[in-house]
Amino acid sequence: MNFHEYQAKILLKRYGLPIPPFAVASSLKEAQSALKELNLSQAVVKVQVHAGGRGKAGGVKFGKNNKEILKYCEELIGMRLVTKQTGKEGILVEKILISEPVTIEKEYYVAALIDRSLGKPILMVSPEGGVEIEESDPAKILQLPFGSDGKLHSYQRIELAKWMGWKGEVAQEGMKIFASIAKAFIESDASMIEINPLVLTKEGKLSCIDAKISIDDDALFRHPEFAGWYDPSQDDLKEVEAKKYDLAYVGLDGTIGCLVNGAGLAMATMDIIHYYGGEPANFLDVGGGATEEQVAKGFQIILSDPHVKTIFVNIFGGIMDCGVLAKGIVRATKEMGLKVPLVVRMEGTNVEMGRKELAHSGLNIITAKTMAEGATKAVEAAKSWQS
């Protein structure tokens, strides 16, 4: 789960990180109240959306006086921000962050994340911040593993401070920041904490100007506050609906809707569709023990995508019973008046019962016994389908 910037700053502030004073507003009236509360004559106004590149897309403004600040607040609240990460549809801005500006002397990059190859959390730092880390010189990036207890040894803090080129009081302040980020990362069950930029101000102090945090979804039961921070307005409506039924859905740009059980099989299904010349319209994992209701809901979500020309159901019944799956398919097909071609390949527990259920349904269902056969038929059906 991704945090908004203001939520990330709320959390990091609890760990003692230097965060400029800020407030959040979702209306002009709230923005006026925020300015009075912060007592600002100048302010940075930033849209709160789950996307990078906000500044380049016009989502970050600097107001030099009260009137200009409120003008920007009014412009940004309710706008649809379009960046490389949002796609051409963009994201509706419902909240803005109003923050005290700082005078920047130097920008740095700091992040905590999991290194999958090492199987350990690491701090990734660079004396070059303010840009995407992919654009930085690799020779200027240091990756330092730390323990799963979230503690940094003294020598690690010193190594990090030297890498950043800090000395004296700035080095001492920076070492505290590194230790706090590592601790916050472990204690909050984060998958990423990113401070970009961390800046050195003209006054010689370090300050966290922007922050991003992603939390492991599987750990949210330990953090009910974080779970309450989920903002469905930032996700695709189909993905939001899928979450309500414990379905894993990701929309794609193709024409073949996929309903599969198990993430590995779902990835393989998308690969084999590509192999035979088709394009998947989604990733949809209904899980190992899906019910009839979940299967029916999966169909409904897939068909809410107007680009879908065929549905390919690819199921291996281990925990899942193919008989239950077949009943769900028949129910969904009848209830929704399915018009696009439906290709079903199933194998595993009670597969013969499932196949009989499909065969006796009276529905025009294309069956296949192997993944390759199913993918081939799905691609052919999508290419020949005329809506």
Q: What are the residue numbers of the active site?
A: 109, 194
At 197, phi and psi to the nearest 5?
A: -95, 150
Give 343: exposed, middle or buried? Use CB within 10 Å, 0-12, 13-18, 19+.
buried
Block residue for tokens 């949809």: 284
E-state strands within the chain: 22-25, 43-47, 60-63, 80-81, 91-92, 96-99, 104-115, 120-126, 142-145, 190-201, 206-208, 211-215, 248-251, 256-260, 282-285, 310-317, 342-348, 365-368
By C-alpha distance, which of 76, 103, 105, 81 is closest to 92? 81
For 366, the 3-state DSSP assignment is: strand
- DSSP strand pairing (310-317 vs 342-348): parallel
Amino acid code (one letter) for 143: Q
At 298, phi and psi to the nearest 5?
A: -60, -45
At 2, phi and psi to the nearest 5?
A: -90, 145
In sequence order, what are the beta bridge partners of 194? 111, 212
Contact (CB, 8 A) for 215 and 187: no
The residue length of the chain stands at 387
Block residue for tokens 């899906």: 290
Query: How distant, in Å, are the alpha carbons of 20, 103, 144, 282, 376 from that of 99?
Result: 7, 13, 31, 39, 55
Contact (CB, 8 A) for 6 and 48: yes
Q: How many CB atoms lie within 10 A of CB 351?
A: 19
* Distance, CA of 59 to CA of 43 (rounded, Å): 14
Cα angle 197, 203, 208 (rounded to 5 degrees) comes to 25
